[in-house]
Amino acid sequence: MSTDVLPTTRPAGASAGKPRTYTLRARRPYGLWIASAWVLLLVGCAVAADVLPLADPAKPVGRARQVPFHSLAPDQILGTDTYGRSVLSRVIFGARTDLLVTLCACAFGAVLGCLLGLLAGFVKGWADRAVSFLIDTLLALPPIILLIAIATILRPSTWTLTFGLTLLTVPAFARLERGAALSWAERPFVLAARSYGASGLRIAFRQILPNSLLTVITFVPTVIAGLIVAEGSLGFLGLGIPPPAASWGTMIADGRASLRIAPHEVLVPAAVVFLTVLALNTLGEKVRDRLEIRSRTG
């Protein structure tokens, strides 16, 4: 078999003694930077809401339905709603409410889901069947119907909403942890620990759980994004956090009656929800990509 060598040509104007070199530049993660900046800005404003020069989100600051940038005062720069309340103040305090509820729901769901998934993946047998049945039952219920039922049966409150959102996150974390536990349970170091007589609890919580948590953590931004959408849907239906507390869903619900004459009442909180969900999904995707590259090269 003969091998043909393709001739190379030098671009015109290139010097004969210096070969031309080409470099490939890695694409800079501008999307990741922008998403991170937005999330950090939102979290910072939510944490520092009490010290920022903002009005009480439940009290009027001017005439009703003032358009954005009608005044450059901090309280009125994004306009006012139907009751004359500051839209900017309600967006920031609503961010605090929404982030607090979704983060608590995600944390509770992650702890409960990981424990159930670890039980199913490590013990197997009856435990796996019982946990799988519970997960399938929760997944069979439409999420919005489940949330409406909980909000109707229980008294609407922050903790009721947190409880309902927690139930939505448990199946996702349980399935992730179950798959990771099944994978790590057959690793050589786990088998070695068993051969040395290590207890099941020690193997589960010292060997399997720490190694499988990284896979679970990468899905946290995506889960929080889904919870924000769910909380906004309940608030829009009037089953979210009761007034006078501000939330993005209730802001959209309050502004729909005056959508034609004051669209900013709906568009501003809707835009914040859109940007936040987009940023969180971008963060989750980039983190999973980095983890996948690391697992392939490492």
Q: Where are the domains of the chain?
A: 30-55+87-297
**pTM score above 0.75:** yes
**Tens digit of pLDDT per residue, the chain (298 long)?**
444 444 445 555 444 554 554 444 457 778 889 999 999 999 999 999 999 988 899 899 888 888 898 888 888 899 899 899 999 999 999 999 999 999 999 999 999 999 999 999 888 889 899 999 999 999 898 888 888 888 888 887 889 999 999 999 999 999 999 988 888 887 888 888 888 878 878 888 888 888 888 888 889 999 999 999 999 988 888 888 887 788 999 999 989 888 889 999 999 999 999 999 999 999 999 888 877 766 666 5
Please give the CATH architecture assigned to the domain spanning 30-55+87-297. Orthogonal Bundle (1.10)
39-46 contacts at long range (C-beta below 8 A, 24 or more positions apart): 39/276, 39/279, 39/280, 39/283, 42/95, 42/99, 42/272, 42/276, 43/99, 45/92, 45/95, 46/92, 46/95, 46/96, 46/99
